[in-house]
């Protein structure tokens, strides 16, 4: 874990050309570092150390007396900052070089380059956010749909943390009661008291089950679901990808075998992020490149959580169609009949009542989106569900907490030694505490924050 005694700096906006770039400096010497590089311009502009909190000042950045860039400097004094440390933010001209030169000046003035996620890590260490809220910052940045953004916003606002803290408090109260009886072994737990403790444990188990049921939905909102578009050459796979995306992403050609490699793009399907993968056409081929494309198609199908199997409704179902329908029958899939604008071949019937669409006219595409959403996430997406969408780390912690709580209840119910009861309950309390960061290890924090971008 990096030291809070150091002052850190980083570019906080994406690299590349743009109107502005923002650099963030945070730590005990942030004002001193800023003073060394910032030259105020105008009567109302001040050095950072002389400025009041939450004010903006115009001037320029200099390094060794040489002009670097024209900037606006925002001075944010602790504790009313994201990190609860003194913070100075520099807005300079966008582009790789201006931002890099300003950053170099800040590093030469005594700041250290921030590690990935280190600003958010400091917000957690300084009590500005708990661990679940800190993870929500990354979810906000990576959100690809409004539903994902809403879920991340609810978590950042502390909705999940509030419920986790209530659960942990109940477990701690039960543990305290049991440990009190361990300290006074001559006093048995009264039957009605034992019943109350068991009832509290059962409520905790039920609540953990409720949260665990949100894990799959939470994963879908955060990372999306992978959907492979497969079928014979010229069935309309690339055209379907373009229709689902709403723009031309894949090359469409009447020449069979145009798609030789996989193409991935994310689309918002009824609020859910779906990663569509356009694949090479499935057929026997002597072309080495096309065979490699087909091999990759099969590998992609193995990874996909959903298949859109596209058939050409204007042609009879071939032996290859039958072969691949049977080969992928075990996967969650939707069979799509494309080219519904053309006369349909009499024997083009699918065993799965497929959606009939036309990629040329766009007919059936909206109904297909509905079918995808229903297959991925049955039922309505309610606002209260978005408040407690747990991630895989939360899921693992809750599963351990639930198992330990079940063991605790069983031990208490069968009058086992209270030391054994307390041991399992401590495991449950610590596992629940991991979610909000009340029990953490350095390795856990490093693992979480290393997934953030630099500057956040």
CATH of the domain at 33: 3.30.1360.120
Average pLDDT over residues 185-200: 76
| In a domain? residue 2 | no
Domain boundary at 128, 151, 178, which? 128
Rounded Cα distance between 76 and 203, Å, is 44
* Shared-domain flag, residues 321 and 190: no
CATH of the domain at 168: 1.20.120.430
* Shared-domain flag, residues 237 and 343: yes
At 1 the pLDDT is 54
Contacts with 148 (C-beta within 8 Å, 6 or more apart), sequence order: 139, 221, 222, 273
Q: Which of 141-155, 171-185, 319-333, 348-362 has the lowest mean pLDDT?
A: 348-362
* Shared-domain flag, residues 350 and 261: yes
Are 263 and 213 contacting, i.e. CB atoms less than 8 angstroms apart?
no
Q: Tell me the backbone φ, ψ of residue 60, rounded to 5 degrees.
A: -140, 155
Residue 48 has what DSSP assignment?
A: G
Q: Tell me the backbone φ, ψ of residue 96, rounded to 5 degrees.
A: -65, -45
* Shared-domain flag, residues 253 and 362: yes
* Shared-domain flag, residues 193 and 299: no
* Shared-domain flag, residues 364 and 228: yes
For residue 254, pLDDT beyond 60: no
Rounded Cα distance between 422 and 31, Å, is 49
**CB atoms inside a 10 Å sphere around CB 322:** 10
| In a domain? residue 116 | yes
| In a domain? residue 426 | yes
For residue 255, pLDDT beyond 50: no
129-133, 142-146, 241-245, 418-422: range with highest mean pLDDT: 129-133
| In a domain? residue 444 | no
| In a domain? residue 452 | no
| In a domain? residue 244 | yes
**CB atoms inside a 10 Å sphere around CB 305:** 16
* Shared-domain flag, residues 272 and 365: yes
Domain boundary at 128, 146, 165, which? 128
* Shared-domain flag, residues 370 and 399: no
For residue 109, pLDDT beyond 70: yes
For residue 285, pLDDT beyond 60: no
pLDDT top residue among 444 and 378: 444
* Shared-domain flag, residues 350 and 232: yes
**CB atoms inside a 10 Å sphere around CB 149:** 16
At 186 the pLDDT is 59
At 284 the pLDDT is 59
Average pLDDT over residues 415-423: 85
Rounded Cα distance between 20 and 251, Å, is 35
CATH of the domain at 238: 3.40.50.300
| In a domain? residue 89 | yes
* Shared-domain flag, residues 21 and 117: yes
pLDDT in tens, 110-123: 999 999 999 999 99
Q: Which of 185-199, 222-236, 390-404 has the lowest mean pLDDT?
A: 185-199
CA 260 from chain center: how many Å?
A: 31
Q: Which of 101-105, 114-118, 297-301 has the lowest mean pLDDT?
A: 297-301
* Shared-domain flag, residues 203 and 286: no
At 256 the pLDDT is 47
CA 220 from chain center: how many Å?
A: 9
Domain containing residue 48: 8-128
**Planar angle of CA 255, 323, 314, nearest 5 degrees:** 45
Domain boundary at 96, 128, 160, which? 128
| In a domain? residue 206 | yes
What are the Cα distances from residue 429, in Å, to 162, 169, 170, 183, 439? 15, 9, 9, 20, 9
For residue 277, pLDDT beyond 50: yes
* Shared-domain flag, residues 23 and 162: no
Closest by CA to 308, choosing from 376, 250, 231, 363, is: 231
At 381 the pLDDT is 64
Tokens of 288: 């080495």
pLDDT-derived band at 287 (thresholds 50, 70, 90) equals low
What are the Cα distances from residue 389, in Å, to 142, 400, 418? 15, 18, 35
pLDDT top residue among 10 and 354: 10
pLDDT top residue among 357 and 60: 60
Give the strand order in the sheet containing 225-231.
263-269, 272-278, 225-231, 306-312, 333-338, 355-356
Tally the domains of the chain.
3
């Amino acid at each position: 874990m990096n030291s809070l005694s150091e002052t850190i700096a980083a570019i906080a906006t994406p690299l590349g050309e743009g109107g502005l770039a923002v650099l963030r400096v945070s730590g005990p010497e942030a004002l001193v570092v800023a003073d060394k590089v910032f030259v105020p311009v105008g009567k109302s502009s001040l050095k950072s150390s002389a400025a009041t909190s939450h004010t903006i000042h115009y001037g320029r950045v200099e390094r060794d007396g040489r002009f670097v860039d024209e900037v606006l400097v925002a001075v944010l004094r602790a504790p009313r900052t994201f990190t609860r440390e003194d913070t100075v933010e520099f807005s300079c001209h966008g582009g790789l070089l201006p931002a890099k030169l300003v950053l170099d000046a800040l590093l030469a003035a005594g700041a250290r380059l921030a590690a990935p996620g280190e600003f958010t890590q400091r917000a957690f260490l300084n009590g500005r956010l708990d661990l679940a809220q800190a993870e929500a910052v990354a979810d906000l940045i990576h959100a690809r749909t409004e539903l994902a953004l809403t879920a991340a916003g609810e978590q950042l606002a502390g909705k999940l943390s509030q419920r986790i803290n209530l659960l942990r408090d109940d477990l701690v109260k039960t543990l305290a009661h049991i440990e009190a009886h361990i300290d006074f072994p001559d006093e048995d737990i009264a039957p009605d008291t034992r019943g109350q403790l068991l009832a509290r444990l059962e409520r905790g188990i039920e609540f953990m089950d409720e949260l665990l049921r949100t894990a799959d939905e939470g994963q879908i909102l955060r990372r999306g679901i992978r959907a492979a578009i497969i079928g014979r050459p010229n069935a309309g796979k690339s055209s379907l990808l373009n229709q689902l995306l709403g723009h031309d992403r894949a090359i469409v050609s009447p020449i069979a075998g145009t798609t030789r490699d996989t193409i991935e793009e994310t689309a918002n399907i009824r609020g859910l992020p779906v990663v569509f993968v356009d694949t090479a056409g499935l057929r026997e081929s002597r072309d080495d490149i096309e065979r490699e494309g087909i091999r990759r198609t099969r590998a992609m199908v193995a990874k996909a959580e959903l298949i859109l199997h596209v058939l050409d409704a204007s042609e009879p179902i071939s032996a290859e169609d039958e072969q691949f329908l049977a080969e992928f029958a075990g996967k969650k899939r939707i069979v799509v009949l494309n080219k519904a604008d053309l006369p349909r071949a009499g024997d083009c019937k699918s065993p799965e009542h497929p959606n009939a669409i036309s990629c040329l006219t766009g007919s059936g595409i909206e109904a297909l989106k509905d079918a995808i959403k229903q297959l991925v996430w049955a039922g309505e997406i309610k606002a209260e569900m978005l408040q407690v969408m747990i991630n895989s780390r939360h899921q693992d912690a809750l599963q351990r907490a639930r198992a330990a709580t079940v063991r605790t209840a069983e031990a208490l119910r069968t009058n086992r030694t209270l030391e054994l009861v307390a041991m399992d309950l401590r495991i449950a309390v610590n596992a629940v505490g991991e979610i909000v960061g009340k029990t953490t290890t350095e390795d856990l924090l490093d693992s979480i924050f290393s997934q953030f971008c630099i500057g956040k």
